[in-house]
Structure 1
């Protein structure tokens, strides 16, 4: 009896007590927040209602262990109880992770893990891709933000805990993950074959365009991202940087202290970077200790820009005068902290502890941030892959034909229409592509032609010359540079 009661008590203490850790996805270090275990235990034992709650949990476990017709692994009961508590919060960003999943989570914060490379969340019981990580297998295969993952290697994810779903998605390097997803605008599920790999993320890359325009891309805000950003920015400034484009498209977020460190390099000292509001509606402002820059800045974002990416975009727009370009962002306005030491066995609780607001006090949760200049990518950037279940040929009329027509147009082949009807003009476009790709020229989109078509399209998407948003960001910087020169005369 003592052991059973102790296990439940420790579980509750782990849920309620302990210090805030400083790193999690947008983990917030807002003071110690600690409660001594002895004080918490005293308060629990001193409250009749709390003692009744603990007794209820203990009784349930005793009844299951004593009366259930099969032997039960006690650890599964404990994990199930904690998972049930987290589900009751109805918050996709608060979750319990077992030892193995917790270790994977810590790896992702550090910027290195093995899997397909996608940030996922649970929404209304469904596993939804927040964003594929740039350059990772998921992005290369064509997965997109807001795709709903239905199954992995034939195993449905329906009804699974998010951590269980993640464990099925992840796996050893070189193994295959057949991912079936539902995408908005597509009537039938889409299936991707993805080879898992080491996701050793270089979170910051940079290059210099002509006329002193620099571009820095941030793929995630991991523990070393601020240092890497400073290094790359310093290199660009040594090359006579005159304007900067910061690209956080498809960046799922990361560590709050890291994004604050980056933001204050552009926000004037004393101005607000972000506000954090706790459950008691008490707000704390994080103000810059840095200084602004003498050159203009634009930020590129899209619907895969979430959490810390949105904090950076909001801070630079409202407190540093940066121009936001691209698409409406994802809309994640909450702050999580991870608790692992308190659990004592390698498991971890990730709990939403507050919401964050932009410098002017706007809560962007489930709404996102609107760009100052809305620029979509070409339609072929988000076209669904072809099913390949059967060949497409003259006189066919379906969604796959429509997607093939969009792909062909994106590659420069004129189909004359994009309504899903496979006419003679579409057939000639297919023949032209087949000829250039070294395929049998028959005007039929079989499995080989479809695969080649998709591969060519992905290569086209990766070409910066076809990146409408990046080109517009650079164009905007050049306009602001020219205006600055004109005003200084």
Structure 2
């Protein structure tokens, strides 16, 4: 945005569904459409009644409270209280440590578990696990609610506070208590360095270029252009652009990416200020450097596609007639600005809406697919607890999940009822024998991990959204 700010400290403008990362070096994830500008907050005195009241409360505490208090703590508490009263999960006050974590996150210092989150009621919700990270490998899903970290409840904690509990050195473990569809389970993950590469590509169906964009970070537009040129040399005739489970990222990158597929002058997005005034961003050489894609494209999206990924998908759909295939996207349509205080703390506050090219505000609604297609139902089964052993005679919801997984893999034919009976034991033994595991008929961690790994491979083979895209482009 070109909005003037006093004493502006320039930094890249962002639309950031910040990739969590629950980071060692610092990770905060908010799932926000995030236009960032910088301003040193003017702390000039004001004589308004409201400020006089705040000042009176502060002085009363400082002069009359029965024991010494930290003026910094009281001030920070007041600021957090005011921002909290907005009831906006994307507005937040960050102290110096928290601000440093955010800045490290923005500069792609990724190391952690790899899941983008936002505040949800008393807890935090996963917006999207990132491909190739511990969170994705562990099977965490969009809409999962994290209620505790290492056995400690995070009820009432801010995203920043919750993330602090999840940080740690690469290689160390963190145990999350996760709630999915009213059921809770624990999952232990090993922190790792989060992949920096955000674009993966290959040729499918001989003449279709498949490009997966996992997030939108500093080099994504460049990576995308490289992938497009590489596939073009291989003679592809069309492209599938996959932004499923893409939590978003930098606005400038989303603009550059979108502009490659749009004719000059076509609208990419709009930003609407509090006054109702709109700033329109249009495709052109300013963003794409003159590089254009004219071959047919189709975009894959789902509930984990948020913010900058939605800007990209919405622009291609509404300004380039690209079909959207999958399920409803996440729906993140507000704009934040981050301001610096002199003590190096920061305040992030929502200042505007962003709209699709036709002026739609998709906040909490998402983009609607042209063609609805999804992974098979078993792709959304909750993870099993690998710390437990399941055997003949046991009854639990975890066993019901096991039965559904084995059924999807072709080993179990009965109705999944949660009872570990003879038929379940036989199915487990059969699976273990075929997959060179000790055939005990008892399900331990090794068997569970093997089953869920096989299931992930089968899910990829039964990707109905990708199949639909291929049929359209053929």
Task: Tell me how far 1:284 sits from its aligned partner.
Answer: 1.9
* Structure 2 residue aligned with 1:57: 54
Q: What secondary structure sits across from 1:316 in the alignment?
A: helix
Separation in structure 1 between the aligned mates of residue 38 and residue 106 of structure 2, nearest angstrom: 22
Q: What secondary structure sits across from 1:211 in the alignment?
A: coil
Q: Which has the higher helix share?
A: 1
* Structure 2 residue aligned with 1:371: 369
Which deviates the most, 163-172 or 317-326? Answer: 163-172
* Structure 2 residue aligned with 1:326: 326
Q: What secondary structure sits across from 1:83 in the alignment?
A: helix
Inter-CA distance 85–379: structure 2 relative to 1 (3 Å threshold): same
Larger radius of gyration: 1
Task: Tell me how far 1:383 sits from its aligned partner.
Answer: 1.0
* Structure 2 residue aligned with 1:465: 461
Inter-CA distance 166–36: structure 2 relative to 1 (3 Å threshold): closer
* Structure 2 residue aligned with 1:435: 433
Does structure 1 retain, via aligned residues, the 8 Å contact 2:34–2:334?
A: no
Q: Structure 2 matches for 1:115-154, cutoff 5 A?
A: 115-154=112-151
Inter-CA distance 17–246: structure 2 relative to 1 (3 Å threshold): same
Inter-CA distance 225–345: structure 2 relative to 1 (3 Å threshold): farther
Q: What secondary structure sits across from 2:354 in the alignment?
A: strand
Task: Tell me how far 1:459 sits from its aligned partner.
Answer: 4.9
Q: CA RMSD in A?
A: 2.5
Separation in structure 2 between the aligned mates of residue 115 and residue 310 of structure 1, nearest angstrom: 25
* Structure 2 residue aligned with 1:298: 298
Which deviates the most, 164-173 or 390-399? Answer: 390-399
Separation in structure 2 between the aligned mates of residue 169 and residue 36 of structure 1, nearest angstrom: 31
Using CA pairs under 8 Å that are at least 6 residues apart, name the structure with larger relative contact order, 1 or 2.
2
Q: Structure 2 matches for 1:379-458, cutoff 5 A?
A: 379-387=377-385, 391-394=389-392, 396-458=394-456
Separation in structure 2 between the aligned mates of residue 417 and residue 80 of structure 1, nearest angstrom: 54
Inter-CA distance 440–28: structure 2 relative to 1 (3 Å threshold): closer
Q: 1:451-483 CA distances to partner (integer Å, 9 max, x unpaired)? A: 43334434545xx434333333233222xxxxx
Q: What secondary structure sits across from 1:417 in the alignment?
A: coil
Does structure 2 retain, via aligned residues, the 8 Å contact 1:356–1:363?
A: yes
Q: Structure 2 matches for 1:53-452, cutoff 5 A?
A: 53-184=50-181, 186-187=182-183, 189-289=184-284, 293-340=293-340, 343-387=341-385, 391-394=389-392, 396-452=394-450
Inter-CA distance 390–230: structure 2 relative to 1 (3 Å threshold): closer
Normalised TM-score (structure 2)? 0.87
Structure 2 residue ranges without an equivalent (≥5): 17-32, 286-290
Inter-CA distance 108–415: structure 2 relative to 1 (3 Å threshold): farther
Inter-CA distance 73–175: structure 2 relative to 1 (3 Å threshold): farther
Q: What secondary structure sits across from 1:112 in the alignment?
A: coil
Inter-CA distance 365–53: structure 2 relative to 1 (3 Å threshold): same
Inter-CA distance 171–459: structure 2 relative to 1 (3 Å threshold): farther
Inter-CA distance 319–292: structure 2 relative to 1 (3 Å threshold): farther
Q: Does 1:27 align with 2:34?
A: yes
Task: Tell me how far 1:434 sits from its aligned partner.
Answer: 1.5
* Structure 2 residue aligned with 1:486: none
Does structure 2 retain, via aligned residues, the 8 Å contact 1:276–1:356?
A: yes
Structure 1 residue ranges without an equivalent (≥5): 1-15, 479-489
Inter-CA distance 112–36: structure 2 relative to 1 (3 Å threshold): closer
Separation in structure 2 between the aligned mates of residue 441 and residue 373 of structure 1, nearest angstrom: 44
Inter-CA distance 293–450: structure 2 relative to 1 (3 Å threshold): closer
